[in-house]
Amino acid sequence: DAGVIQSPRHEVTEMGQEVTLRCKPISGHNSLFWYRQTMMRGLELLIYFNNNVPIDDSGMPEDRFSAKMPNASFSTLKIQPSEPRDSAVYFCASSFKGTFDEQYFGPGTRLTVT
């Protein structure tokens, strides 16, 4: 079975550019999570969706960040405009209600903003 799929795996962009990260959760999972991992701050939850609806976006750093889940099999995290401090590894994870929050993580997108 395919796991959580993220694209691209690596992204290098210049400050001010728009960046879009993509995630395909595991089929049948109804919760999706976006995390950011940095050396300084560790692993932080940005936002999570349940049944395609955003439940908690309190971790989204600022208005430059936005996330959407138009259907059960696809989500995007967009940064516009990007800044060097956004450089991090961004993980998407999904889980199935009833499994005590066993989250399955994708391989991550390493974002570098120069």
Partner 1 sequence: GDSVTQMEGPVTLSEEAFLTINCTYTATGYPSLFWYVQYPGEGLQLLLKATKADDKGSNKGFEATYRKETTSFHLEKGSVQVSDSAVYFCALSGTGRRALTFGSGTRLQVQP
Where does this chain touch partner 1 (CB under 8 A) — which range of 13-21, 39-47, 65-73, 74-82? Answer: 39-47
Q: Quick one: 82 or 103, whose CB is closer to partner 1? A: 103
CB 68 to partner 1: min, Å: 18
How many Cα atoms are found within 13 Å in the side-chain-facing hemisphere of 87?
Answer: 11
Structure tokens at 19: 């960046």
The answer to whether 90 contacts partner 1 (rule: CB under 8 A) is: no
Q: Determine if 75 is a binding residue for partner 1 (CB under 8 A).
A: no
Residue 56 binding partner 1, by CB under 8 A:
yes
List all residues 6 or more positions away from 90 whose beta carbon is below 8 Å from its beta carbon: 6, 21, 34, 35, 36, 37, 77, 108, 109, 111
Of the candidate residues 8, 55, 80, 84, the single one contacting partner 1 (CB under 8 A): 55
* Residue 45 binds to partner 1 (criterion: CB under 8 A): yes
Q: Is 19 exposed, middle or buried (0-12, 13-18, 19+ CB in 10 A)?
A: buried
